Structure 1
Amino acid sequence: MRNYFLFCILFISYNLLYSQAKIKCDLIEVSSIAFNKNPTIRSANYSIQNAEANLQLQKSIFDFNLNSDVTFQNRKYNLFDADPRNDFVDKTLRNNSFDFSIGSQKRLRTGQSIDIVLKYNYNNTNFPYNAFNELVGSFYGNHSSTLNLVLTQPLLRGRGAKIVTASEKASAFYINKSKYDYEFANSFEIEQIGIAYWDYYTAYKSLSIYTQNENRVREVLNMTTELVKADKKPLSDLDQVNADLRNQERLTVVAKQNLYNSRINLGRVIGLIDEESQRLDIPINDFPTVLESGYNEIIDKNALIKIAKSKRGDVKAIGEEYKALELQYLVATNNLKPQLNLSAFGFYGSASVGNGVDKSWSSLVNNQGQELGGGAKLSFSFPLNNNLAKGNYSIRKIALQNQTIINENIHRNIELNIDLAVNNLMNSVLILQKSKESFDFYQNAFKNEQIKFQSGLTTLLNLILFQERLTASELENLNAQQQFSNAILILRHETGTLISKEDLGFKITQNAFYTIPNTEN
């Protein structure tokens, strides 16, 4: 009894560990795993992040730039003997100076640029007289402060908010493009996962068919053995049945290999490693039926094309890229113009003399030595050949023209692909119906042939022939179901209705694998 309980505990523990090790092979489950595992999906997400980083680079044009510097100098100058200043200094003129400046520049999104700079200077010397020939003593401090403000307005190149912000807006369009490319890449990968899943399911069902066929051959072998014992069939029939059995066993081994290969391939498109792929459990989703798919013999292709052009991520992506290229072309056109800037400036300054920190601060507000002024400046620059601007203009113009061709080609291919997808869907329905009818007839024919064989009304060769036809018909019916399932997937992807974008990510529903797109909404 104790051994029995120990066996039960080990058996339950094994099943628990086995179930935990397996990966549930459900269409929604494996598709969800792909968003974290599939390398193509992960790589496309990095493209979005790269585009966002590029937008940050373009925004830097409008950043505040803060500049400052501090300079201290100590100078000695040996006077000539004839220099009258020798009477007041010991043959050496000493000078100390301290310079400090702080400024900020900013380019506005309206096109103008602003520069503001505050400068402070302090110097002293061992010569006891100042500039007014007043005796002030050695190393008497002189302070001066100046505040400058410059506003620059481009008149030709770089004029206008639309030109100045074009690169920034183009980068925003490229972010949208990357997101739509990511959406379409996800749809394609989910389509591939769906196709790989149906291939795995077909391989799984094929193995079952081959196993059943092998069992049927064994039944024929047993039946033939009994008939040989009863002298109703010749002994040579056993060789023929045994040969057929060995062939069916071979086909079963091949089916097992195909099942293994399709499991690994499904793991590959999901993004699983080898060890994870081998842990994929048996597929649990059955093929869609024609009835549940919502198939109608009259399919509105134009409605599907309209849906595709409004929903597909690649269509939206090229639209965003075209907008970005338009802005870049606009900037390139503007850069053909000369640089003509009008600057208005104003300045304010003051000075003070004496030593002490208070003299430094008063140098900006002291009435004596105060200076106030303003003015305007017109600057012009233009490279005579202007090859850089001309080259960029040609590049942007060609890119825009090429994008027009790309747009037209994508729309053209959408129409062609949907035409093919609809045609394949309609044909797959017909093939499925005919293969199902054929399979039903072969089932009845095989049963009748078995009865006739037992009665001695037909030959073993005929029985084997009908059995092989039954197996082939069952496999063809299975392949027809797979073809129909793939046709739904392909039509969904081509119309952009396989997955949907939600606020928190992408949504995949069971209906996307089982129903054709609804053209009535």
Structure 2
Amino acid sequence: MLRPNQAKASAVLGAVLTTMGGCAGPMTTNVIPASLFSDNTVKSAIVTEARPANFGNVPAARISLAEAPRIPTTGMPESISIEQMISVRDRVAPHQVVLTGGRPIVSNDPIQVASNAAFANFQSDGSAIDDVVEQIPPAPNSIKAKAAEPLSLSDNDAENVVKENRAKARAGAKQAEQRQAAQQKRAAAAKKKVAAAEEAEAKALAIEAEKVDSLPAPIADTPEETTTAYVGSQPLPLAEAVRIALSQNKGIAVLGYLPQEIGTFVSTERSVFDPVFQADIRGGQFDQQNRNFINTGGLLPGGLAPGANEQRNDFLSGTDLNVLSITKMLESGGTVGAGVGMNYFYDTPVGDGTFLNPAWRSALNLSFEQPLGRGRGKNVTTAPLRIARANQSLASHEFQAIVNETLRDVQLAYWDWKRAQRDYEVTRDAVRTALETLELEKEAVRSGEGTLPDVEQASDQWQRFRIDEALALNDMKKARITLIQLMGLPLNDINYDFAIDEPAITTDVAREIGEVSAMARPEVLAAQANIRAVQLEVILAADTLRPDLNLRLDYQVTGLETGLDRAIETVSEHRFNNWIVQLEFTQAVGQRAACAALRRAQLKLARAIAEQDRVEQEIAAEVARTWEDVMTSAEQLRIQNERVATARSQVKGRNDLFAEGEGSLDLKIRAEASLVDALLKRQAAEVFVQQQIVRWQYVTGQQQYVQFVE
């Protein structure tokens, strides 16, 4: 956009060029020869109509023979430029300029005078009006006047000629006076028009200045004030954010109990093989009637003697064979046991079958029971324990997956916060720059150098950047809240003010290593642990198809004496012993329940294997996608860097042109907006590269902030 002084100069130049030659035509490098100005026919030619050169075949311009202002030929050079022609016109007869129709003519536009005229084509050399040559250089010595030839006339003829010449002279003088008066009148009218135009222009500038002064001033919430109210001085490194998240994140805290909870089942299944100690004893008395009234022949109860019909037994023994015992289950499925038995009897009166009274019976009991069908073998007996361990491993890997996902989210949120901070800084600087441009445009209008539309355009740019700044500040606050939430800190007690780490722009990643390490991610290990657990369930289900066949062996050493010590001594002598062999068989006809259980277990195993295939395929695809994102983000960052460099160069060039008064405000504002957009996109590209590296480390199982120990 041209400044007012440039617009005036362009208008004057266009008027002169249009007067001399009409609209633009094909351009040549020639200038007008000065010798042509001595030809009155040529000097009288004024172009009154022409058409632009872009209309195809340009017809010859029509030439009028109206009298043109006399242009002196004395001191004219052999060629004259447009600037010199304008200077001569302004000094000789500025009020006789005749404007023709056609488009406005600006500097460097080619001008076609006429295709059938004696003039050669000419063009403006683009010089400023202030640099127009003010004086015509003297004519060369080659220009000489032609000597007049003598006349031969009679006296009457001479007198008539004299009279005629005097009459012509008086008429010429009168015409000259009339022309001079007309010229003075036209000059006065022209001066009045110029004064009126200047007065109107001054009034217009005053009105524009009043409109500028009436525009709303910048509000008080400047970037410095909003920043001071939010940004503090406590930095937050990324490693600190990860450390806090590991210890304070609520999701990790909740899921951290699950592996420990599942781990208790391991202890439960392991306890099956622990020895079991048992102590058991009971005592009492049995009082029985041995005879009734009929048995005694009608005598008194008790028969011939008191108590003859009563039998009383005192006893002390264990509830089973043993008073003290210990048993243990073997991994083969069998059970071994050893125990000590003790029985005390005292009968009143002594019965017929009683040989010792009181009697102490002591025994050493040994037992062994082994399943020969169902439940036989270590593979079956340890299956529940191994299932519990597999479930514990499954829970642990699932917990690791959640932790890795949380750490990924923490890192991504950290870099989102960093990007939001950078965006806020860029928009804040853009607001400052736009505000400076707005103030400069206001000052230009006050001084008569600018226009009100320029002020309004600069104000629109400033308002749009203020909106972007407010949105960027909002994004920064929300990104900070998201990060603090993932870290597990209370939102009402936030001590960290800004992210201090900068993105490490690197894409030095190995795809082959990532593809291999990705198959060791917790998700894959969890699927494998689930398969192990289900495989053991299949083993247990298949074991139910075996017959229930059990072998039992019992061996007992006994002693019976009137005293406990003597009974124990008899046991130690190993003189009296008992042994028993027992075999028991049970089998359900058809085994429908067992077959159905096995089928369920097999289907569950097939589903678990398919789930592992799905997880591995999904992870492989995720690795491939992330690899492409890493490469694309690196290329995008490279292009964004080039764009920023180009935008900076464009802004510098537009600012230089604008400062020299040659560029337009619209192009300057567009360049500044393009630079802001380029800076925002480059910052987003830098953070995107860093975030893709975080995602690559996550999908390939190469998290560097945490290690899990079984």
1:225-304 matches, cutoff 5 A: 225-276=442-493, 278-290=494-506, 293-294=507-508, 301-304=511-514
- Asked if 1:95 is matched to 2:313, the reply is yes
Counterpart CA distance in 1 for 2:490 and 2:598 is: 48
How many Å apart are 1:369 and its aligned residue?
Answer: 12
Deviates more, 1:227-236 or 1:158-167: 227-236
> Which residue pairs with 2:583 in the alignment?
378
1:337-486 matches, cutoff 5 A: 337-353=546-562, 359-366=563-570, 371-486=576-691
> Which residue pairs with 2:522 in the alignment?
313
Query: SS where residue 363 of structure 1 aligns?
Result: helix
Is the 2:258–2:395 Cα contact (8 Å) retained in structure 1?
yes
How many Å apart are 1:114 and its aligned residue?
Answer: 1.0
Counterpart CA distance in 2 for 1:379 and 1:500 is: 60
Letter in 2 for 1:109: E
Deviates more, 1:90-99 or 1:327-336: 90-99
> Which residue pairs with 1:64 in the alignment?
275
Q: Deviations over 1:60-103 (max 9, x none)?
A: 21122223322222232233135577445524332222222232
- Asked if 1:120 is matched to 2:342, the reply is yes
> Which residue pairs with 2:287 in the alignment?
76
How many Å apart are 1:131 and its aligned residue?
Answer: 2.3
- Asked if 1:39 is matched to 2:261, the reply is no
Counterpart CA distance in 2 for 1:361 and 1:338 is: 46
Q: Percent identity?
A: 18
Is the 2:288–2:311 Cα contact (8 Å) retained in structure 1?
yes
Is the 1:204–1:259 Cα contact (8 Å) retained in structure 2?
yes
How many Å apart are 1:385 and its aligned residue?
Answer: 4.8
Counterpart CA distance in 2 for 1:39 and 1:362 is: 70
Q: Deviations over 1:301-354 (max 9, x none)?
A: 444212222x3222223223322322221122112111111122211212112x
- Asked if 1:490 is matched to 2:695, the reply is yes
Counterpart CA distance in 2 for 1:343 and 1:436 is: 85
Is the 1:187–1:499 Cα contact (8 Å) retained in structure 2?
no
Q: Deviations over 1:175-215 (max 9, x none)?
A: 33333333332222111111111100011111101100001
Instruction: Report the CA distance shift for 1:390/1:42 in structure 2 as closer, same or farther (over 3 A).
Output: farther
Instruction: Report the CA distance shift for 1:319/1:210 in structure 2 as closer, same or farther (over 3 A).
Output: same
- Asked if 1:110 is matched to 2:332, the reply is yes
Show structure 2 runs of 5+ residues with no match.
Answer: 1-231, 297-301
- Asked if 1:51 is matched to 2:268, the reply is no
Counterpart CA distance in 2 for 1:397 and 1:55 is: 24
Query: SS where residue 125 of structure 1 aligns?
Result: strand
- Asked if 1:191 is matched to 2:408, the reply is yes
- Residue 430 of structure 2: which of 213, 218, 222 is its match? 213
Deviates more, 1:419-428 or 1:322-331: 322-331
Letter in 2 for 1:288: A
Deviates more, 1:432-441 or 1:238-247: 238-247
How many Å apart are 1:244 and its aligned residue?
Answer: 2.7
Counterpart CA distance in 1 for 2:431 and 2:252 is: 43
Q: Deviations over 1:128-153 (max 9, x none)?
A: 45625x7x8xxx42221233221112
> Which residue pairs with 1:335 in the alignment?
544
Instruction: Report the CA distance shift for 1:457/1:95 in structure 2 as closer, same or farther (over 3 A).
Output: same
> Which residue pairs with 1:4 in the alignment?
none
Show structure 1 runs of 5+ residues with no match.
Answer: 1-17, 354-358, 506-521
Counterpart CA distance in 2 for 1:307 and 1:52 is: 27
Query: SS where residue 440 of structure 1 aligns?
Result: helix
Instruction: Report the CA distance shift for 1:504/1:115 in structure 2 as closer, same or farther (over 3 A).
Output: closer
Is the 1:232–1:456 Cα contact (8 Å) retained in structure 2?
no
How many Å apart are 1:394 and its aligned residue?
Answer: 2.2
How many Å apart are 1:119 and its aligned residue?
Answer: 2.3
Deviates more, 1:390-399 or 1:54-63: 390-399
Counterpart CA distance in 2 for 1:500 and 1:442 is: 39
Letter in 1 for 2:704: I
- Aligned residue pairs total 467
How many Å apart are 1:501 and its aligned residue?
Answer: 5.8
> Which residue pairs with 2:535 in the alignment?
326
Instruction: Report the CA distance shift for 1:35/1:83 in structure 2 as closer, same or farther (over 3 A).
Output: farther
Deviates more, 1:362-371 or 1:46-55: 362-371
Query: SS where residue 280 of structure 2 aligns?
Result: strand
Query: SS where residue 540 of structure 2 aligns?
Result: helix
Instruction: Report the CA distance shift for 1:369/1:462 in structure 2 as closer, same or farther (over 3 A).
Output: closer
- Asked if 1:161 is matched to 2:383, the reply is no
> Which residue pairs with 2:46 in the alignment?
none
Query: How does the TM-score come out when normalised to structure 2?
Result: 0.62
Query: SS where residue 437 of structure 1 aligns?
Result: helix
Query: SS where residue 326 of structure 2 aligns?
Result: strand
Letter in 1 for 2:406: E
Query: SS where residue 315 of structure 2 aligns?
Result: strand
Q: Cα RMSD (Å) of the superposition?
A: 2.5
Instruction: Report the CA distance shift for 1:428/1:340 in structure 2 as closer, same or farther (over 3 A).
Output: same
Counterpart CA distance in 2 for 1:501 and 1:446 is: 47
Query: SS where residue 342 of structure 1 aligns?
Result: strand
Instruction: Report the CA distance shift for 1:255/1:221 in structure 2 as closer, same or farther (over 3 A).
Output: same
Letter in 2 for 1:381: T
Instruction: Report the CA distance shift for 1:63/1:363 in structure 2 as closer, same or farther (over 3 A).
Output: same
Is the 1:352–1:369 Cα contact (8 Å) retained in structure 2?
no
Counterpart CA distance in 2 for 1:391 and 1:248 is: 71
Higher relative contact order, chain-length normalized (CA < 8 Å, sep 6+)? 1
> Which residue pairs with 2:362 in the alignment?
145
Counterpart CA distance in 1 for 2:251 and 2:484 is: 14
How many Å apart are 1:387 and its aligned residue?
Answer: 4.5
Larger radius of gyration between Structure 1 and Structure 2: 2
> Which residue pairs with 2:193 in the alignment?
none
Counterpart CA distance in 2 for 1:501 and 1:324 is: 27
Instruction: Report the CA distance shift for 1:39/1:399 in structure 2 as closer, same or farther (over 3 A).
Output: farther
> Which residue pairs with 1:510 in the alignment?
none
> Which residue pairs with 1:25 in the alignment?
236
Is the 1:76–1:93 Cα contact (8 Å) retained in structure 2?
yes
Instruction: Report the CA distance shift for 1:117/1:391 in structure 2 as closer, same or farther (over 3 A).
Output: farther
Counterpart CA distance in 1 for 2:521 and 2:653 is: 53
Q: Deviations over 1:274-322 (max 9, x none)?
A: 124x3332001111224xx436xxx6x444212222x322222322332
> Which residue pairs with 2:353 in the alignment?
131
How many Å apart are 1:472 and its aligned residue?
Answer: 1.1
How many Å apart are 1:45 and its aligned residue?
Answer: 2.5
